[in-house]
Amino acid sequence: MRPPVLGPDPYGALMRTPAANLLTRAGLPKPPRLRRHEPGQDLLTGPALVIGLDGATWTGDLGTWLRAAGATVLDEHPGGTGEERLGAVLVDASGLRRVEELGQLRERLAPAFRRTRGRVLLLGADPARLTDPEARAVQQGLEGLLRSLAKEARGGTTVNLVRIAPGARTALRSAVEFLCSARSAFVHGQPVLVGAGEPAPARERPVAVVTGAARGIGAAIVDVLARTGHHVVCVDVPAAGDGLAAVANRVHGSTLHLDVTADTAPQVLATHLADRFDGADVVVHNAGITRDRSFVNLDEAAWNSVLDVNLRAPLRLTTGLLDHPGALAPAARFVYLSSINGLAGAKGQTNYATSKAGLVGLVQALAEPLAARGLAANAVAPGFIETPMTAAMPPVPRELGRRIASLQQGGLPVDVAEAVGWLAQPDAAGIDGQVLRVCGQNLLGA
């Protein structure tokens, strides 16, 4: 389940490197050890508090869902003077419409925030649907609060914001369960929009396809999708060799050696899925390459190969699968691996950033037409992740890359995989056209 570079205790190994010691001695805080998914673990590390501000409509549901997931839900103590350590605090701010009402956030969330080690979840309305200027200002203001609170959180506590569009009950429950769980350990400081969409009846053995499955993030995605009951078709280039079979074998999946950039790739994949599996439920476009060099020194091959693999191939495969009868199951999901470097840009990565920003545009263009067919497309944008790719960086820039995040560390491939796994779940059907950063609130933007 772990990339080979890290061994059984990645956190310990990463904390003991000379570069890590150097930065800690220089005064940077020691990164917290993040709680990650283990079979059978509790949802939370302590009781949950649910706070409903003016106009809140979800507090009852939140309590019900948390209890159903095994959590203890506390009553809010009058005056906020409770002292018990909390595993999570959830604040329904979706009914706030006036600037004065924002004061309730400070008054009621602050005492709970102080007591929380685990998860902080803000619930808001979708600002884009509000026409009243003050209402939209208030709901957009929550994003400033979100990002600031995330920067103030300590000890591995995460803060995220779920924006609720009409009809989002099922997707909201799914988002709450994911964002409260250890599966979202490296999702921090992020807004997510949830909308209408009901899960299709689950197939007995749903099928997922993952490109670039032989190693790194792709292999972790295979593991997570297998854990959630999928038969996984592991796709990689022939050059990946035995690595691909090893990944597929450990989850009883199957392999398909395929160069995603080949002219015939869409037809080959579509036929494979239609004929052998009665269509795919989940398609994860993870295959990607880098050819880093400054823009003025990039040659044609370095530009074209990155754009071909990272952007043109997912585009062609998507079209091919959509057009081929039977290649997709009735409620199929597409997930595309973007990157925060596609959102923020990166020196020496004009080609890579162009391709990864392009995937954002692709997902945004697909959202509506796919929703009309009962399908959905989303992107996941990893930040600094411990992979063979980042293991090859020089030690000090690598350590700085890890620390320049509110969680003060890099993520693991499994963190990205868990986000993909969530978006692949049947009850996440109402999440469409979104770009979810999995970056520990990496501070890189522009």
Active site residues: 352
CB of 278 to its own copies, least distance (A): 25
Tokens 């000890």, residue located: 155
Binding mask 165-204 for its own copies (x = CB under 8 A): ------------------------x---------------
Is residue 161 close enough to count as binding its own copies by CB under 8 A? no
Is residue 410 close enough to count as binding its own copies by CB under 8 A? no
CB of 261 to its own copies, least distance (A): 11
Is residue 83 close enough to count as binding its own copies by CB under 8 A? no
Nearer to its own copies, 189 or 426 (CB): 189
Nearer to its own copies, 104 or 228 (CB): 104
For residues 54 and 108, give the distance between their C-alpha atoms in angstroms, rounded to a whole number: 11
Kindly list the distances between the CA atom of residue 55 and the CA atoms of 59, 120, 231, 267, in Å, as whole numbers in the listed order. Answer: 10, 20, 44, 52
For residues 125 and 97, give the distance between their C-alpha atoms in angstroms, rounded to a whole number: 10
Which of 362, 417, 419, 438 lies at the binding interface for its own copies (CB under 8 A)? 362
CA 419 from centroid of its chain's CA atoms: 3
Nearer to its own copies, 209 or 359 (CB): 359
CA atoms within 13 A on the CB side of 65: 20
Site for its own copies in 111-130 (CB under 8 A): 111, 113-114, 127-128, 130
Write the DSSP string, 107-140: IIIHHHHHHEEEEEEEEEE-GGG--SHHHHHHHH
Nearer to its own copies, 39 or 78 (CB): 78
Is residue 264 close enough to count as binding its own copies by CB under 8 A? no
Which of 138, 176, 258, 328 lies at the binding interface for its own copies (CB under 8 A)? 138
DSSP 8-state symbol, 228: T
Beta strands in 145-287 (DSSP E): 158-164, 191-194, 207-211, 231-236, 254-257, 280-285
Which of 342, 382, 426, 430 lies at the binding interface for its own copies (CB under 8 A)? 342
Is residue 262 close enough to count as binding its own copies by CB under 8 A? no
Tokens 């549901």, residue located: 61
Do strands 254-257 and 231-236 pair parallel, antiparallel, or not at all (unpaired)? parallel
CB 317 within 8 A of CB 265: yes
Degrees (nearest 5) of the Cα angle 89, 92, 94?
Answer: 150
Which of 170, 181, 355, 387 lies at the binding interface for its own copies (CB under 8 A)? 355
Nearer to its own copies, 174 or 406 (CB): 406
Which of 151, 250, 276, 373 lies at the binding interface for its own copies (CB under 8 A)? 151
Which of 41, 57, 64, 294 lies at the binding interface for its own copies (CB under 8 A)? 294
